Structure 1
């Protein structure tokens, strides 16, 4: 068999592989977001946000969806545009800045000589979606940084229904963003109460 014939057969064998590569769906990337809020007008209280921890099964760039109690589906095309811990940290910080109307929000780790008045730690227990709803379960801890005294510590569960028509990544990311805002409202309320001003939490703009 001459070389030209061999090259011909190799090319024929590679055609299906090339065609398969050409039809691979492109990845979609999603962000968690904070709702629009009035621009912060003050510098107090000063808030430090972090660290944020997530379960190991969520520690990936792919969106994870729950099939049943013990089964998960890891998407090959729907991905977070940033590490999930970083996205949660960013959004919670923005939420608290708007809710408490303070520009003085710092991300963990902060400089020890410029410690904030209050620290906020967040540990996600669950962050799941299925065909019907999204669920967020998180333990949050607010403390006074100066003396490490506890302000509030709670285990919070938030959930939202998903549209019945489809469960795409954009809807899941938007629903998670709503749950993180509801969680941030609880945290902001505990800080406002510790300051003796429980009515200080602002609503987002409409």
Structure 2
């Protein structure tokens, strides 16, 4: 009897081991799809500082969230982000804008010392998510600041993108939304490419003013004249 039990025990151990392997399969890792942006050709194109870019707090994690029909969010069980979602957003927008503006001078904030931008883009992303039965949704707002520090454009954007339902399709749809955002941004930025240079008013030097004062003719000061004459009144 003991001899017969040994193969049975070995068989049960193997089945349990296979079940454990199936249960603990690693989740798939996903990155945003940046499309196929080309390489910008102009090394002296439009100078743009992109950022600061603020991303909603609930997106500051590796968990891939799923939007439910009632508006709630739950963690996906079959996948997660491969690293920082915020960094993916930054890199996708930089590459897309550089390609659409055909400029090598599109950089993330903070810019290096000596970089003088034509425009700075202040961007806030308040929503970027989707669900198995919910479309991908992007809510964002941007402000464009020209080289004089004036606000040239302020826009609130709401975009939606349908998908087939799988996690991979949802991630692809979210990437398409960011590509659409970069397209709208590029359209708003292009009219600001040919701004007149900022000319600071010239201030007269102190030495020149002193020299002008010295060259003016000096008028002697009047002094009172005293006499011993008395005046009599009748």
Q: Shorter-chain TM-score: which interval?
A: 0.7 to 0.9
Aligned residues of 1:62 and 1:77 also touching (Cα < 8 A) = no
Q: Which segments of structure 1 move beyond 4 Å, counting only runs of 4 or more?
A: 15-19
Higher relative contact order (CA 8 A, sep 6+): 1
Aligned residues of 2:163 and 2:173 also touching (Cα < 8 A) = yes
Question: What is the distance in 1 between the residues matched to 2:33 and 2:18?
Answer: 38
Is there any run of 5+ residues in structure 2 with no aligned partner, and where? 1-14, 196-234
Give the aligned partner of residue 168 of structure 1.
166
> 1:80 deviation in Å?
1.2
Give the aligned partner of residue 186 of structure 2.
188
Question: What is the distance in 1 between the residues matched to 2:70 and 2:25?
Answer: 29
Query: Are positions 1:87 and 2:85 aligned together?
Result: no
> 1:194 deviation in Å?
2.3
SS in 2 for 1:162: coil
Alignment of 1:77-156 (within 5 A): 77-130=78-131, 131-144=133-146, 146-156=147-157
Q: Structure 1 73/36 Cα, relative in aligned 2: closer, same or farther at 3 Å?
A: same
> 1:77 deviation in Å?
3.7
Superposed CA RMSD in Å reads 2.3
Greater Cα radius of gyration, structure 1 or 2: 2
More strand by share: 1
Is there any run of 5+ residues in structure 1 with no aligned partner, and where? 1-14, 198-206
Q: Structure 1 194/69 Cα, relative in aligned 2: closer, same or farther at 3 Å?
A: farther
Q: Structure 1 103/21 Cα, relative in aligned 2: closer, same or farther at 3 Å?
A: same
Question: What is the distance in 1 between the residues matched to 2:36 and 2:66?
Answer: 27
Please give the per-residue CA displacement for 1:137-180, whole angstroms capped at 9, x wherever unaligned.
11112212x332112111101111111xxx22221111111111
Aligned residues of 1:151 and 1:191 also touching (Cα < 8 A) = no
